[in-house]
Amino acid sequence: MKCNVCGQKEANVKIVKVINGEKTVIHLCEDCAKNHGDLTFNQQGFNLSNLISDFFSSSFSTPQFNALQNNELKCSKCGLSWRGFQEHSRLGCSECYNTFKDQLLPLIRRMHGNALHQGQIPKTKQPDLLKKKQLKDKKIKLQEAILEERYEDAAKFRDEIKTIEHEIEGIKNE
């Protein structure tokens, strides 16, 4: 594939941007990629272990993390401490995610830009997952309508929820 900018060289850099749900894909050659404003290149390359180390050391230097070290929060299932996670960058068990949830969410947001996966869905799973998302959204709207005493809207959302639940059952039975 040729570079989208110069149209001459072979593209070896792919940039995917998703802005307001709109996906844009740009294919660039190395030279055009270096001139592209969103990318920075280091002529010496990079060391992955240094990158990870720098990321975690700066993430753990905030006052809330320093205070956490003094209290020494530990997982009730495996006994892993927060300090142990800092040293090894690994959680000990599935319960660690719940134990350290408040500390992990900022790290995940910083590393991935968000704490929720918003990537692509396999085509075979799309109908089911999209319906489940619709169901979740309708349930939130139902709760909001009830809290705001908009009972006609609440009844409408309740009926829509039942319809979506039947559709999900139909997808599962296929």
Give the model's pLDDT for residue 25. 87
Segments of 6-149 assigned E as strands = 13-19, 22-28
Q: What is the residue type of 159?
A: D
Give the model's pLDDT for residue 121. 63
Q: Domain-by-domain residue ranges, the chain? A: 1-45, 48-112, 123-172
Is the distance from CB of 1 to CB of 27 less than 8 angstroms?
Answer: yes
Is the distance from CB of 141 to CB of 157 less than 8 angstroms?
Answer: yes
Task: Tell me the HSE value of 172 on the side-chain side, using a 13 A CA sphere.
Answer: 9
- pTM assigned to the model: 0.33
Residue ranges of the chain with per-residue pLDDT less than 70: 36-71, 112-126, 174
Give the model's pLDDT for residue 44. 46
